[in-house]
A and B are shown apart, each in its own frame.
Chain A
Amino acid sequence: MGLTRRDFLYGIGGVTSSFVTRKAFGATKSFSPHENSVGVLHDITRCIGCRKCEDACHQVNHLPDPKLSFSDLSVLNTVRRTHSDVYTVVNRFEVNGQSVFVKKQCNHCLEPACASACFVKAFKKEITGPVIYKESLCVGCRYCMIACPFNIPAYEYHNPFSPKVTKCTLCSDRLNQGLLPGCVDICPKEALVFGTRQHLINIARQRIDEHPERYIDHIYGEHEMGGTSWLYISGVKFSDIGMREDLGTISAPALTAGPLSAVPIVVGLWPVLLTGMYAISKRKEKIAEAEKAEAVKKAQRIMQEQMETKIAEVKSKSEKEKEAAIQKAVKQAVAGAEKKFQSEKSEIEEAKS
């Protein structure tokens, strides 16, 4: 049997003392808690919404008193969630003309999204069951709050110098002292049962099987998001009492495993590929440069050839011109001489006559 307030006192030794000695944290990657890890079964059909569990939670965690006392049930008129000074709330839902009360707190997931998300490992799933927050590491990025599928962690936004993330601790300190969680301890209707998770699943199964008219056939938390240490059984659909049924069974670490495994690929492959691309573009550049040099050379050669022929042309032209000039001069000289000869000849002839 699981443990309620009454039978707890007798059976306490067995369950918890074995854990006190085994205090080590679970492994980092897969949080895989101990198979004897503990949890709480919340039988929603038994809850009467007395809010005594909220009161006890406040007492054991030394939280400030709320404005309205815990006996004031008008609080139930609105659906509430956990806050920095409220680790657990009881909500009322009207389903088929009936009031259904359900308690809400951290579910102490087997593979907690909050722990998987925290970039300083401020959350740890202890092998004993509780998911524990270490204030001394927390930076306050609030990614755990983004990650938690149950919207549980809250933040002390009003605290300027030492703001903390807050949530239910499964009364981990009390467990270590051999005490029950505050809420389980006080519940007058045995709507909360403490025990090893496996045991609680058996109880839940048994109750569902024995009273199929009273319960729907679903143990909430057995598989949700990889399973949780808190378990719930109910007479109405969970989605009608503010509990999401579309969360799936894949745990948070499994969801992020894909992108995380891409890291070594990028780190390993990118530099090689990029250096390759660089080499290719460098080679292209070199080829282009060689081609350019070649082209320049060719152009130069053509230029030179053209130049040479031009020079040769000019040379031959000037030679021809020179020759012509000589010939001209000779001709002139000859012509001059002839003229002279003619005039002298005529002079002589004149003188003769």
Chain B
Amino acid sequence: MTTHSESRSLLTPFNVVAGIIVMVGIVITGLRFFSGLSTVTNLDDNNPWGLWIGFDLLCGVALAAGGYVTSASCYIFGLKKYHSAVRPAILTAFLGYALVVFALHYDVGRPWRLPYPIFLSQGTTSLLFEVGLCVFMYLTVLLIEYSPAALEWLGYKKARNIIVRMTLALTILGVVLSTLHQSSLGALYIIAPSKLHPLWYSSYLPVFFFISSMFSGMSMVIFEGSLAHRYLHHKMDKTHLTESEGVVLGFAKAASFIMAGYVAIKVIGISADNNWHYLATPYGVWFLVELIGFVALPSFAYAIGVREKKIQLIRWTALWSVLGIVLNRLNISLIAFNWQLPTSERYFPSWMEIAISIFIVTIGVLVYRFVVNRMPILYEHPDYQEHHS
């Protein structure tokens, strides 16, 4: 490509919008770090956790679950047809977790102390400690899992082969760490029974979070896949293209089952705590919107999509389910949290908090695009092709 056409091709509408977001993000970043949290956020003493925890941390981690789900399907359950989906899923998971950690730097008061809980003073009674430790270790595992793509691109054959031989061990470690921190994120709220609405509070919260992370990961793989198909079709090799339909159908079917099971245990959760009477309140209606409108119905839509092989329906359902996960996490962290406070003391994010969240997602998309345009993610490197059957 000549310099001229390159500079012209950079001025796409997408790039212009992304550029504006990044610039706004940088300005707010400056404000956040030089003038304090109160300048950019609506956080206060009653609402210490806002959008950056509810969306960036809780949703970020749940939506990055595609990494462990896909690699476990392929390498542990031996579903080889998912092989071409593993690399994109690992890449998104890695970027997702990296951005979660990045976002945490905005939220905590003294980000330079973030290594403290791991290296200096371990608060082992805290579930947040477990989350922190697991996220830190899993980020490392994901970096190693992702590295073969980078090493192939750079041409380091030997290092690449050593890491590929560790695949199984890494996958198992990844599943263990994911189980722990996905569930612990839910368990964070177990300490606050008096603040979270009873319909969402449950001693099963860790189980709910873990199970929902599975279908969250699957839906995200399908959703990302459809975006990649639209915009990065030229980067995909034949294996990827021929296998992708199988991945969509397989994950849709699995997600449909898991979502149905999730609805069932949520209902068990309500009966265990005998919270039926809350269903007749406005919060109850909202709870049903989440559970039926954003879990039960998509589960059903997935099932239809699979039976009638309607890929398009499945793709839209994936987006629907992803929104359902976002809704669930925001409900627990923001909407149903502090539900007893008067409206005037409730939290609503400031525009700058929203802008930073958008900024971070944008960085993720930009880095993803940079990587898949260069490294063997959506295709296999010709020197390292494996035999498929």
Contacts and interface: CB of A to CB of B under 8 A. Distances in A.
Interface secondary structure of B, over-half rule: helix
A138 B109 contact: yes
A139 B190 contact: no
Interface in B180-211: 180, 183-184, 187-195, 203, 206
B108 interface: yes
Contacts of B111: 139
B41 interface: yes
Interface stretch (B3-11, B127-135, B358-366, B378-386): B127-135
A160 B116 contact: no
Contacts of B46: 81, 151
Contact of A259 (B44, B187, B195): B187
B43 A157 contact: yes
Contacts of A270: 172, 175-176, 179
Given A82-B45, A116-B125, A157-B44, A256 B109 contact: no
B77 A281 contact: yes
Contacts of A141: 107-109, 128
B49 A256 contact: no
A139 B116 contact: yes
A207 interface: no
A263 B39 CA distance: 39
Interface string A255-293: 110111011001100110011011001101100000000
Range for the number of chain B residues in contact with chain A? 35 or more
Contact of A146 (B49, B173, B183): B49
B191 A145 contact: no
A148 to B, nearest CB: 9
A149 B176 CA distance: 32
Given A116-B191, A260-B125, A270-B179, A139 B110 contact: yes
Interface stretch (B28-36, B82-90, B222-230, B256-264): B28-36
B312 interface: no
Interface stretch (A48-56, A118-126, A296-304): A118-126
B15 interface: no
A76 interface: no
A32 to B, nearest CB: 13
B246 interface: no
A263 to B, nearest CB: 6
A289 B114 CA distance: 50
B320 to A, nearest CB: 30
Nearest to B168: A278
Contacts of A285: 78
B122 interface: yes
Contacts of A275: 172
B121 A137 contact: yes
Contacts of A266: 176, 179-180
A284 B80 CA distance: 12
Question: Which of A137, A146, A159 counts the most B-chain CB atoms under 10 A from its CB?
Answer: A146
Given A145-B45, A274-B172, A120 B121 contact: yes
Nearest to B37: A157
Given A121-B121, A263-B180, A278-B168, A256 B191 contact: yes
A113 B194 CA distance: 12
B110 A162 contact: yes
A155 interface: yes
Interface residues of A, number: 63
Contacts, number: 181
Interface string B42-61: 01111011000000000000
Nearest to B114: A139
B165 interface: no
A146 B180 contact: no
Given A139-B117, A145-B48, A157-B38, A120 B123 contact: yes
Contacts of A180: none
B49 A246 contact: no
Given A140-B108, A149-B194, A266-B176, A253 B125 contact: yes
A34 B39 CA distance: 43
B75 interface: yes
A142 B193 contact: no
A137 B128 contact: no
A256 B190 contact: yes
A260 B127 contact: yes
A244 to B, nearest CB: 6
A7 B114 CA distance: 48
Given A82-B45, A120-B117, A139-B110, A163 B37 contact: yes
B172 A282 contact: no
A140 B78 contact: no
Contact of A274 (B45, B130, B175): B175
A271 B123 contact: no
A119 B120 contact: no
A138 B123 CA distance: 11
Contacts of A156: 109
In the complex, the 4 A-B pairs of residues with the closest C-beta atoms, listed nearest first:
A140-B109, A281-B78, A142-B48, A259-B187
Given A140-B109, A277-B76, A278-B168, 9 more contacts: A142-B49, A145-B45, A158-B39, A255-B193, A259-B187, A260-B125, A270-B179, A274-B72, A274-B175
27 contacts: A28-B125, A29-B125, A116-B191, A119-B126, A119-B129, A120-B123, A121-B122, A139-B114, A140-B113, A141-B128, A142-B108, A143-B128, A146-B48, A151-B46, A155-B45, A163-B110, A256-B191, A258-B203, A259-B187, A259-B206, A266-B176, A267-B176, A271-B173, A277-B77, A281-B77, A282-B78, A284-B78
Interface of A: 28-29, 81-84, 113, 115-122, 137-143, 145-147, 149, 151, 153-160, 162-164, 244, 246-248, 252-253, 255-256, 258-260, 262-263, 266-267, 270-271, 274-275, 277-278, 281-282, 284-285
